[in-house]
Every structure is written in structure tokens, then in C-alpha cells.
Amino acid sequence: MNLTQTVFNISGMHCASCARSIEVNVGKLSSVSSVAVNLAGETAAISYDADSLSEKDIIKAINKLGFKASLPSENGKDSDFLKLRLEKIRLFVALFFSSSLFVISMGPMLGLLTLPSFLAEPKVLSATQLFLLLPVILCGYKFYTSGFKSLFRGSPNMDTLIAIGTISALSYSLYSTYLVYTGHEHAIHNLYYESAAMIIALVMLGKFLEKRATKKTSDSVKKLVSLTPNNARVIRDGSEVEVRIQEVKVGDVVIIRPGEKIPVDGKIISGATETDESMVTGESMPVNKAVGDEVIGGCINKSGFIKVEALRVGKDSTLAQIVKTVSEAQASKAPIARLADIVAGYFVPTVISIALISALVWFFAGKDFPFVLSIFISVLVISCPCALGLATPVAIMTGTGKAAEHGILFRNGAALEHACKADTVVFDKTGTLTKGSPEVSDIVSDIDKDELIRLAAACESGSEHLLGEAIVRYAKETGLDTLTAENFKSTVGAGISATLDGRKIYVGNKSFVKNTGRFEHEAAILSESGKTPVYVADDEKTLGIIAIADSVKDSAADCISSLKKRKIAVYMLTGDNEKTANSIAQALGIENVISNVKPNEKSEVIQRLKANGHTVCMIGDGINDAPALASADISIAVASGTDIAAETSDIILMRNDLTDVSNTIKISSAVTRNIKQNLFWAFAYNVIGIPVAAGVLYALGGPLLNPMIGAAAMSLSSITVVSNVLRLSRMKLR
């Protein structure tokens, strides 16, 4: 079985019922394992067996339902702008004619104007109103094509409600117009042309504002897609040529000048520069790059002229993987959305039933047909499956987009919802709380400290040991001159010796270097604090100690402090010895330390914490911590900008900045709270609005809801949900 997930673009969806229809019907296909439709993003994330079902088969199945499915275009560009512009033109036409119709029909009744005598004549007035309505119906034709198709398929949607309501008003008005032309001029008062027109225009206005606002929720992904330049300069047959980005191959040498975007992931083979990686990793400070360093496609080459060997291109690039991850997350559903999905499946048929029952009740109560028709239309147009359908996806889209801007990648909606529920956070030590590479931390010496480093670095220049590399790196970073060493001799597990200007120098541990008594006390103190002392000596005496330690990340202490303020228990999990582990934990303020743990035992620790009733979030590097990450309720991988393939993690922090752990929880909390608010208002709106439209207030001596007011309220409910979500984009992160 070849389980594959593909995100399809889907147009023609108008409400939660549309989304539900696709999920139910496509989900019935034998090789489909899951379907998650995102109404706001107009996408569907579908998992299926690629060996027995193709993308074309799925597209065909969706199109059969009356929608239009397609695969995302290669360059990420679509016709959204043109579609929005065309909808704007239709909206203006509909508003112009509907408002003109409203003035002509209602103006005299409200005492706002007096019609010319020829226009006030019943036959002319009724014909004029009908002709003013026709352009509005033409502009809103989608309500009818979609609404009736859905009705005939047995899965009515919001458009069905609008179509039935306005057709009912139109049909009764046409009958009244017929009466006017057959001599019953009093029937002029039973025209509902303006109601049908205003309902269509107001719903179109609401949908337009909703779509324009929703479009902002996916801007983050579109910004990421637009980062990759269209062309690149590569060296072919010894000459520099410009080619389309799709033509760049792995191994090509790409030339990038200052100020240009880096077209591919690659390794610098010539030159040095600073790169702006903020749009990909969220890191605001420029990053120094030299020969041998990797650069990320889509970032900006700030200062130097560089040549880069292409390592990852096209869909394998870091940027493409980020866009894929964020897009899949936006297309997924959060568990909290299940209630709305269940309601959506029954919503429209229930509303139609309520409209019919309400109309019949008032009819048998003795009300005339215009009153009964008004009740029927009002119930249909005030109900709002859109608000229910938008409540969750727009929040997820905005939240994941906001997170991506700061280098935080949520893999799915469930991760976004659950991250804020963790009451226990477990950190791996090496590479997560610490930098993961040893550094020189202390120098204790009887001679000049720089001289001690020169001697040690010269001996270690031929060594591949991590401690030796740390000393050599420190010498380079501090700009110390290098000495020439001869007669290298390495003793495994002990140290290295070499001759410098005829002088024998020894660099290694206590057993390798003789006469360490002078520095025993200092070495013991350093060891107690979790540091490794490296002795430097000659044939006569020990010259000094260089302490090596895996230093704590700058952001680690702030992260731990922030989690504690949220009343979250913090654990450190490490394979290091107890002494080293406690030293790091004490520096960070972590009380719960579990040391001497083998990699395969880490997941057992997570399982024990879960068994004790904790909701556990595990934070590791995403590679050697894979079993523990997989065992946790929520898993966060701290990855570099060029390594986002932490398959076992729910969330990826691309900046290696632990401050983003707090940001992750903050985003999760804000999005979950926003979704709950949206669902509350969507349910409350319908629970209150539908009975009012059915005439409950009128029965108690209150007002009767006008269908036009119902249509305006319905549009307003969707706009309110989207506007509430857009507050997330203004959220401040650390």
C-alpha cells in the first residue's frame, strides 16, 4: 500500500454543507483513508492509496459533486486576483440595480420620494421592478446553479437556501404581476421583487467581504511561495548563462550577486557574505556565510559575491518543504471542528424543514399568503452555515501562517490545538537546551593564556576529536597565530603529543599528562560544574587547563522561566552522567532531571509520565529523539533552517531558538480560544436568529423580521467570524 496525501484546490464551495458533502462522498471511495476539506482555503487534504487510485480519479469524483477540483499550480500563482475583480464588478452591478429597485418600490411607501405619474402606473411599475431584478439575478446566478444542483444531489447547501427563498419571492411576485396585468391592480402591493434583489445583493456583499478578508489569512504562504526568483545564473560549459529556476539541477554552480535572492539550497564554494533568512526561518539578524556553509533558497544575499553549488532544487528545497508543510497544516482539521462538521451535515435540511413548518403554522393560524411567504423566506436567508464552516479553518490558516512567519511549523490542525494543553514539557539536553557542540569555556594557566591556546591548538590541528576541534576553533575565532607542529602522536582515549620548535607538548586528560597536582583543585571544580578539563603540559610540568563544555543556548533560561510562569512542569532528559546533567539543570532552574538515559529508554520515560496523567510535550532535535517524540502527546523538533524533515514531530522550530517554545504555546492558546469564540457565536447566531425569523417575537407581540434584514444579518455573521480571526494576525510574539 502506497499511502499518499495530496492537497487539492477546490472551487465552488459556499458553506460548511459543501465541505461536508465532499468529505462524505470522497471518503466513500475504497482507497481513500481520510479527507479534510478547508472551506476558507478552498482546499482538500486527501490521503489515499496511490497504487489503486490516481489524482485524476479523485478530481473526477469531486467534479461529479458539482465542484471544480485541481492540483496546485507549479509556480504557486493562480487567478485569485482576476476572480476577485470579476466578483467585485458583479457586486457593483447587483448593488446598483437592487438599490434602484429598493428606492422605486419602497421609497413612496416610506415617504422618501414621489414617483413620476407614468412610473406610478401599476403595470409600468411592476414591469420596471421585474426588469431591474433581472441583472441582479444574472449577477447572482451561482446561487441558483450551485443551490439547485446541491438540492438535486441530496446535499443542499447555503446556496440552496438563498435560491429557494428568492425563487419563492420571485414566483409570487410574477403571479402578482400577472394579476396586475389582468386588471387586479391592488396586487401591486404584493410584489417581492425588491426583497429578492436585496437578498441576493446583500449576500453577495457578505461573500465578497468574507472572501477578501479570508484571503489575508493565506498571505503568509503566498509570501513564502513568491520568495523564489524566476531565474538563476548558472555556469554551463564554462560560461555564465541565465536559466529558468525549473532548469537548475543538483550540482549546478549558481552565481549570486549582492542584493539578489538565493534561487536554490546550496553550499558556498566561493566567496563570503551575510544572508537574510528572516522570511524562511523567522531569524531577524543576518547570518554570516563562508565557503562550506549552506544557504537557503529564497533568502537574500546581503553583501558578498558568492558561487553556490546547488544541493536541493524544486520540491526538495527547504522553501518548498516549508510551503508544503504549512499548506498541509492549513488544509487539515482541528479535532474541535468535529462538532461543527456533524451539525453542518444536518443543518440545511433542518433549516428547510423549519422554514416549511413555520410557514404552515402561520398559514393555519389564519395569516395571509404574503405573511406566510415572508416567514418562509426569512428563515431560509437568516440561517448561516457559512459561519459554522469558517469558524475553524480561517483560525487555523491565520495561526499557522503567523507561526510560519516566525519559523514555527505546525504539521496539522491537531498539533495547533493540542500544544496549549501540555502540562509537562520534557527537554532533551544536547542540541536542544545546549548548543550541541563543545566550546572552550575556561582557561586556567601559569603562562600567558593565549600562548597556552596556541600550543594546544597546534597539537590538535591534526586531530578529529571533538574536544580538539573546539580548541582549534577557539584559536581561530580569537585570531591567534598558528604554530607549526611536528611528530604528531595520538593515544586513543587519552590525548595527543607533538613537537613545537623542538619542545615536546602534551594535550590530553589527567592520565595522559604527568605532574597535574598544581591544577587538581581547579580541575575538580570544573568537573563538578559539568565541564571537561583538558591538560596542556611539556616534559617539565603542566602548563595549564583548558575547560571544554557544551554551552547552554542563550534562549534556554528565558524559555524555562516562561514555561514555569504558565505552571508547566519542566523535565530534562539526557544520557549524560548525573553530575553534568545537574550542573546544566541548576544553571537553567530545572528541578526535574533524569540522567544516564539511553536513547531507546527515553520513550519509556515519556510513557511513564503519561501514565501518571500528564499531557506531555517532548522537545528534541528530531533525529536521535525520534522514539520519545513519537511517544509524546505533543512533539516539538528543534531543527535548523535546512533540516525540517523531522517526520516524528508535530511542530518544528526552525530557528533553534527556544523562545519559540513559548511562542508555540501562545499561538496555540490564541487560536484555540479564537475557534471556541467563533463556534460559540456561529451557534448562538443560528439558535437566536432562526426562531426570530420564524416569528416567535411576533407571536409574543414583538416585530416581524423582514427578509432583507435577515439576509444582511446572515452576511454579517460570516464577516464577524472572519474579522475575529484576523485579530490573530496582530498577535505580538517574543
Q: Which domains does the chain have, with CATH numbers?
A: 3-80 (3.30.70.100), 229-316 (2.70.150.10), 410-434+553-662 (3.40.50.1000), 439-549 (3.40.1110.10)
Read off the C-alpha cell for 173.
Answer: 411576485
Average pLDDT, the chain: 85
Q: Which residue has the cell 524555562?
A: 560
pLDDT value of residue 465: 78
Instruction: Give the mean model confidence (pLDDT) for residues 684-702.
Output: 90
Cβ atoms of residues 336 and 393 within 8 Å: no
Amino acid at 703: P
Cβ atoms of residues 579 and 530 within 8 Å: yes
Residue from 107, 129, 106 nearest 176 by CA? 129
Instruction: Give the mean model confidence (pLDDT) for residues 437-448.
Output: 88
Residue from 311, 221, 302, 222 nearest 261 by CA? 302
Distance of CA 483 to the CA centre of its chain: 53
pLDDT band of 283, cuts 50, 70, 90: low
Alpha carbon distance 683, 292 (integer Å): 57
Alpha carbon distance 524, 516 (integer Å): 12
Read off the C-alpha cell for 639.
Answer: 531543527
pLDDT value of residue 363: 95
pLDDT value of residue 17: 80
DSSP calls for 665-681: HHHHHHHHHHHHHHHHH
pLDDT band of 270, cuts 50, 70, 90: very high
Residue 555: what are its φ and ψ, rounded to 5°?
A: -90, -5
pLDDT greater than 80 at residue 537: yes
Cβ atoms of residues 586 and 395 within 8 Å: no
Ramachandran category for residue 292: left, alpha or beta (phi over 0 → left; psi -120 to 50 → alpha) = left
Alpha carbon distance 556, 589 (integer Å): 10
Residue 532: what are its φ and ψ, rounded to 5°?
A: -105, 115
pLDDT greater than 90 at residue 12: no
Alpha carbon distance 437, 675 (integer Å): 42
pLDDT greater than 60 at residue 499: yes
Q: In the sheet where 634-638 sits, what is the strand order?
A: 408-410, 651-653, 634-638, 616-620, 424-428, 569-573, 592-594
Residue from 419, 430, 447, 428 nearest 518 by CA? 447
pLDDT band of 75, cuts 50, 70, 90: very low
Which has more confidence, 111 or 313? 313
Residue from 693, 682, 678, 681 nearest 199 by CA? 693
Alpha carbon distance 699, 598 (integer Å): 73
pLDDT value of residue 597: 84
Residue from 642, 678, 637 nearest 658 by CA? 637
DSSP calls for 247-282: G--TT-EEEE-TTPBP-SEEEEEE--EEEE-HHHH-
Residue from 109, 97, 100 nearest 189 by CA? 109
Instruction: Give the mean model confidence (pLDDT) for residues 270-283.
Output: 80
Using CA atoms, how far residue 69 sits from 146, 159, 211, 333, in Å, is 15, 19, 18, 19
Using DSSP, state whether 184 is helix, strand or coil. coil
pLDDT greater than 70 at residue 218: no
Alpha carbon distance 432, 637 (integer Å): 9
pLDDT value of residue 645: 46
Any alpha helices (H) in 536-575, and if so which ranges?
Answer: 556-565
Catalytic residue annotation: 428
**pLDDT per residue over 517-530, tens digit each?**
778 888 888 887 77
Alpha carbon distance 150, 50 (integer Å): 29
pLDDT value of residue 112: 67
Cβ atoms of residues 185 and 124 within 8 Å: no
Residue from 328, 256, 326 nearest 296 by CA? 256
What proportion of the chain, given as a percentage, has pLDDT over 70? 93
CA pseudo-torsion sign 364, 370, 373, 378: negative
Residue 518: what are its φ and ψ, rounded to 5°?
A: -55, -30
Read off the C-alpha cell for 627.
Answer: 522514539
pLDDT greater than 70 at residue 287: yes
pLDDT band of 330, cuts 50, 70, 90: confident
Alpha carbon distance 388, 392 (integer Å): 8
**pLDDT per residue over 369-423, tens digit each?**
989 999 999 999 888 777 777 788 888 888 888 888 888 889 888 899 999 999 9
Any alpha helices (H) in 519-625, and if so which ranges?
Answer: 520-528, 556-565, 578-588, 602-611
Cβ atoms of residues 664 and 568 within 8 Å: no
pLDDT value of residue 366: 92
Identify the bridge partners of residue 270 per DSSP, sorted by sequence position: 307
Rounded to 5°, angle at Cα 389 from 14 and 412 = 115
Q: How far apart are the first and last CA of the chain?
A: 44
Ramachandran category for residue 426: left, alpha or beta (phi over 0 → left; psi -120 to 50 → alpha) = beta
Read off the C-alpha cell for 10.
Answer: 477546490
pLDDT value of residue 649: 81
pLDDT value of residue 77: 45
**pLDDT per residue over 608-666, tens digit each?**
999 999 999 999 875 667 788 888 999 998 865 445 545 668 898 888 788 899 999 99
- Contact partners, residue 464, CB within 8 Å, separation at least 6: none
DSSP 434: B
pLDDT value of residue 477: 87
DSSP calls for 191-230: --HHHHHHHHHHHHHHHHHHHHHHHHHTHHHHHHHTTS-S
pLDDT value of residue 76: 42
Instruction: Give the mean model confidence (pLDDT) for residues 249-271.
Output: 92
**Which among 6-15, 106-115, 192-201 has the top mean pLDDT?**
192-201
pLDDT band of 437, cuts 50, 70, 90: confident
